[in-house]
Chains A and B, each alone.
Chain A
């Protein structure tokens, strides 16, 4: 088992090099000019300045040479300097990734807990009004666009009711807590700084609910259908024939089998949200990877695009590994080797 995990982890850097190559090629092939971000507009007409800046950023070299430089730097752990922020891409990412992770983890918790709850209740009371309400809520979650639900909730709870604070991770004047995780809630709790903890949590609440609602939709519908399939199996009849009460049949026998397909989707969704929570981040001014990805793509900031791609790919590879491990844990018929 340990050998299997090690082998999988060792293949990750190789895969990432491939992903980085593809990302490099694709972004170079994209129409557009990164110079717009690099050269101040009024100096665009001065060829000498443009040439100097091109040389400074290495954009005057032919593509293959730039590719070799880029990959060489990557191998040394250097993702380059962002054209727009003028800072190392790794610094940008290190600053923004925890924000996204905190948001996505919170959303996954909301989505998994609520989604499983709805799925269970829907399956237990299938084809009743309760089931209909649960399925309706789930369907809304996966079909209402986040830019709409986010804005509406923000308007209701922050602007009208003033129950939740505005956008961002903390109030404007609050100093972010020091800490190693970069999750403001956890860092504040570790430092026993409770006012900041409460503030960070209240800032996190609304974006996590909005993003979590969309996850809820996916999870609830999958749990429901997967449970109903399990409930039709012979071992369910056996459990009932043993005298097991219905809640035990559902939680003890149907659910463990129904969770197997759910695990795959959870892993995939988590990885997807690392770079895919753009809308939520934009609406709640959340300084995460998603908004970084959009701004770097807009200005053809090659190093930043490469960095975001690597982060996204890593998320997928790790999530896949964790999913496979969870799969083997949930399903004893699978042996990893």
Chain B
């Protein structure tokens, strides 16, 4: 086993002021090896984005982060502002959900990519940075990259904008890419292209990737490992294959059942009833219990931890009973 690129232990993020605090992420542990792809799946509010933003210290000051995130031997959580700035955009690149709002509307795309380059390389000339930016746009298959540099974000289509966002994230040759819902704001036809591009570029360059999504279909073809998050915790994790074919957790099953199947006969989509709990009103016991059709009395009092059952690690006390083939 190679040395991990990133090792996260007990990552916990709480929000609030004074005595009233609520936790959005509760004790997240994972490791990521160089060049690997980790998929983090969960509904809105499950804490997946907050966890990643916590690592980069990108949250508002009202957020309190504890635990550790050791990147190349240094803890990102306790790092000073100067040091974390050298990591952001240089070691770790970020792609965000909506590329229209993620680009500054009054600056050209070129200006913003060149800025990303200049921020981490004080010796490079502006001209060389511009050339580099042009080649980056070419790498993400944007036609006429030279002209495109002089255009504003609103002059790009959604897919092109996300390509430009990828180019900007890759500008300084990062070792880790955090892609937060990179395809959610895009047309379905464009989604596949963007995912292909992401996979191709990260594979070619050996960049480890954390792919955050609410859509299991997005991580299916890309992730080496998948973590399913619910209410701030990991409820199940395993290899992509295990998650899809050997899941033990009712929530993961629900997510899989909720994926539209394009082959096979048309059928009514199955949704998971109810909504995730707010971080302020989380029930005792297993957070998923109120929505779970398998919940028993014990589920409502004791919160189960992750343990290995079959092919995956799962946080469900009835995991053994929920063998394959049982309906979700």
* Chain A residues within 8 Å of B, Cβ to Cβ: 233-235, 237-246, 248, 252-253, 256-257, 260, 330-333
Contacts and interface: CB of A to CB of B under 8 A. Distances in A.
Interface in B89-124: 89-90, 94, 96, 98, 101-107, 115-116, 119-120
Contacts of B53: 237
Given A238-B103, A242-B116, 16 more contacts: A235-B103, A237-B96, A238-B104, A241-B58, A241-B96, A242-B89, A242-B115, A243-B86, A243-B116, A246-B81, A252-B115, A257-B104, A331-B105, A332-B105, A332-B106, A333-B152
22 contacts: A237-B58, A238-B103, A239-B104, A242-B88, A242-B89, A243-B85, A243-B88, A243-B116, A243-B119, A244-B89, A244-B119, A246-B81, A248-B119, A256-B106, A256-B107, A257-B106, A330-B106, A332-B105, A332-B106, A333-B105, A333-B106, A333-B152
A253 B126 CA distance: 19
Given A241-B56, A242-B89, A243-B119, A234 B105 contact: no
A331 B106 contact: yes
A234 B119 contact: no
Interface string B114-153: 0110011000000000000000000000000000000010
B96 A245 contact: no
Contacts of B90: 243
A254 to B, nearest CB: 9
B63 to A, nearest CB: 13
A253 B107 CA distance: 8
A156 to B, nearest CB: 41
With a 10 A CB-CB cut-off, give which of A242, A248, A333 has the most chain B CB atoms: A242
A141 B56 CA distance: 41
Nearest to A236: B104
Contact of A234 (B86, B101, B115, B152): B101
B154 interface: yes
Would you list the 3 A-B pairs with minimal beta carbon distance, nearest first? A243-B89, A242-B89, A234-B101
Contacts of B96: 234, 237-238, 241
With a 10 A CB-CB cut-off, give which of A237, A241, A246, A257 has the most chain B CB atoms: A241
A197 to B, nearest CB: 39
Contacts of B256: none
Contacts of A248: 119
Contacts of B85: 243-245
With a 10 A CB-CB cut-off, give which of A234, A245, A252 has the most chain B CB atoms: A234
Name A's interface SS.
Answer: helix
B101 A233 contact: yes
B28 interface: no
A218 to B, nearest CB: 23
A331 B88 CA distance: 28
A223 to B, nearest CB: 16
B91 to A, nearest CB: 9
B231 interface: no
Contacts of B89: 241-244
Nearest to A260: B106
B34 to A, nearest CB: 21
A238 B94 contact: yes
A183 B115 CA distance: 42
A68 to B, nearest CB: 51
Contacts of A240: 58, 88
A189 B154 CA distance: 47
Given A332-B152, A333-B154, A242 B102 contact: no
A130 to B, nearest CB: 16
A232 to B, nearest CB: 9
B168 interface: yes
Contacts of B88: 240-243
Given A234-B101, A235-B101, A333-B152, A241 B107 contact: no
Given A243-B86, A243-B90, A333-B152, A238 B119 contact: no
B154 A238 contact: no
A239 B112 CA distance: 9
B101 A242 contact: no
A290 to B, nearest CB: 36
With a 10 A CB-CB cut-off, give which of A238, A260, A332 has the most chain B CB atoms: A238
B102 A235 contact: yes
Contacts of A330: 106
A238 B106 CA distance: 14
Contacts of A257: 104-106
